[in-house]
Each structure stands twice: as C-alpha cells, then as structure tokens.
Structure 1
C-alpha cells in the first residue's frame, strides 16, 4: 500500500494560512499573508519534503487546488516545481467543483476518506498532500496520514487557520528526521506512533494546598 504524506508550512503557533503571499488567502480578515517569504534560503530542500510533488501523485483540497491552478500553469516551463506539479497526477477533494481545468486533474467523488483509502490501495507512487488544511484535518481524524513533513517558521501570527484544530484526533508522533535551515526554519518529519502514553512524575503525597486546589477544580472554581 502506498503512503499518504502531508507537507505544510506552519508558524510557531501552528498557523498554516497564506504562507506564500498576501493575496493567497486573506479570508477571515487574515492580514499576514506571505509570512514565510523572508525566511526562504538555499538550504531548504523542497523536493525532499514533497513540496514539488515530484514522483508522487497529489491530493489537494479545493482551496489549495484553486490557488495552484491559478499560479503554476503560468510559470516558466523551466521552473522545476512548475514542471513537476503541472505534469503530475492530481486528485481534488471538493463538494462544490464540478469540473477541473488544470492538466491531469481528477475530481474525487463520494466520501473522501473511503475514496483516499481506495487510492492508497492502488499501485503507484506515494500520495502527496500539500497545504489543504481542511482536508488534512479530515484525514488526520480518520488516521490515514502516514507521514507529516512540517516546516516550522520562527514567527508567531496569533490568528488564522491552524494545522490542527480542536477536532484533531489525539495521537503520538515520532520524529524521524529534522534539520534547521540557515534562517531558522525547523524542517521535521513525523510519523504516527500510536496512542498518547500518559503518566505523572513521581512525588510525595499531595500537600493540603494541592488537595484544596484539586477540590476547587472539581467544583469548577479554579
């Protein structure tokens, strides 16, 4: 079975909205579009994290598809990312689109989770999610994402669309690779690692103050 890999840029506080430019996605009054631009440098290997889609088939949410469709076909044919994204197979999850105009794009029908599970079972290259925040959240909850490539930028945005929302499924992740760019971007790869293992540091018997604090919490007075 081929893997489903999610790659995205996030701020230190988990925002993934509009990293590429002010006009990319200003919905919700977001005014910090283009926040990754100042940190780009030659040490960043976009291909290694799947951001160029090379040798993979893309799975995109509707908004990310429309951003890409309006940009990449109009870039130079010599641009390596444009070349791979324009030529690559693309699967698009949307409840509103009825037809797709970007080369080699296919609209996914029916339940998106079961459809992508079926895609994973087919022979072929790994499946690559880029951006597509709503779709990532749906597939994360369904536990079918096999790998996360998260590039964390040293910036706090305060508001915007988050990679993981309050509906995210609790899960442990295992770090399998990490590098830091010259500009301070932490480029990490994680894989799911089962349930979260809970525990507590050993300590003496709780003090009277601690018992009183717990009582306040139980009474919702804390």
Structure 2
C-alpha cells in the first residue's frame, strides 16, 4: 500500500497558510530533497491547484519545479471543470473512496497539499505521515493545520533534522 504524506511549512505559532509570508528566501535551499524524491503523485485541493498552476509551469526553482511539472497531479474539486496544467486529473466525488483506491495502486508515496484537503484526510485516517518543516518565524495570523474539534490525533516521530539556517525538518507517522 502506498503512503500518503502531507508536506507543510509551519511557523512556530502553528500557521501553515501562505508560508511565503513567513519563510525567508535564504531558507529554501535547506529543504530536504528526499521529501519529493519519495513521491510519484501529488494530490492537491482546488486552491493550491489554482495558485500553483499559475506559478510552477514556468518556474525555474529547482528541484521542485521539475518534480511538480513532470509528475501526475490529482486535483480535488467539485467546482473546477477544466485543468490546463500538464499531467493534471480531476477528482470529483467520493474523496475517501478515491484516495483509498489511489493508495491501493502500485507506486511510490503520494504527496498531499492544501490545508482543507489535508485536514479532511487526516481526520478520515488516510494520512500516513506529516512532513513538517518548522520555520523559525512567528507568522502571527493565518490558518493552522491542527485546529480541529474531536479526538486527539497521536503521532510518532520518525525522523528529525536541523538545518544550518534553523529549519527543523520533522517526519511524524500518524498512529492508528
């Protein structure tokens, strides 16, 4: 079974929305390349698709530009009808069932992006790992990933690494 990993930049105060507002440009070079090397499919929500499809097709920021443009992108949306970005497919309908089928297919890790989508999949028990890049900044405002009502979600630290400029790269497995 394939793993589903959520990949997020997170500020010290827990904000994951608009990391470009709290992530310094000099820190991008510290992001672990293995996060994307493990993936062969990207699952994203509508908002991320709309933002990224305007930026990444012409971007020269490597290694992510080559990765995101080359690999399949599955977009979760009930409102989009036409996907212009190369290698993009629309997923409209039963999200949990479709993700379970996707995870059962052969392949490498599926990376998931988009706050609402990650929250839904995490609460549904479909996220296997959280790859959090803790940024040494206090965002002050913005959406937080882990703001939910309900039972606690237990995590087990799988890996941690500090970078020379102060990022903390944390990999947590979701305990079942």
Distance 2:63 2:135 in 1: 24
- Normalised to the residue count of structure 2, the TM-score between the two structures is 0.91
What does 1:116-195 correspond to in 2, within 5 Å? Answer: 116-130=99-113, 132-167=114-149, 169-194=151-176
Pairwise CA distance, 1:43: 3.6
The answer to whether 1:58 aligns with 2:45 is no
Q: Which has the higher strand share?
A: 2
Distance 1:98 1:90 in 2: 15
Stretches of 4+ moved more than 4 A in 1?
A: none
Distance 1:41 1:62 in 2: 24
Equivalent residues of 1:19, 1:37 under 8 A apart = no
Distance 2:157 2:39 in 1: 23
The higher-RCO structure (CA 8 Å, 6+ apart) is 2
Whose radius of gyration is greater, 1 or 2?
1
- The count of aligned residue pairs is 176
Q: What do you get for the CA RMSD once the two structures are aligned? A: 1.9
Q: 1:123 to 1:38 in 2, by over 3 A?
A: closer
Q: Which has the higher helix share?
A: 2
Structure 2: runs of 5 or more not aligned: none
Residue matched to 1:44: 31
Residue matched to 2:57: 73
Pairwise CA distance, 1:164: 1.4
Distance 1:105 1:84 in 2: 13
Distance 1:49 1:55 in 2: 7
Residue matched to 1:91: 74
Structure 1: runs of 5 or more not aligned: 21-32, 195-222
Q: Deviations over 1:138-170 (max 9, x none)?
A: 001001101110011122223211111223651
- Normalised to the residue count of structure 1, the TM-score between the two structures is 0.74
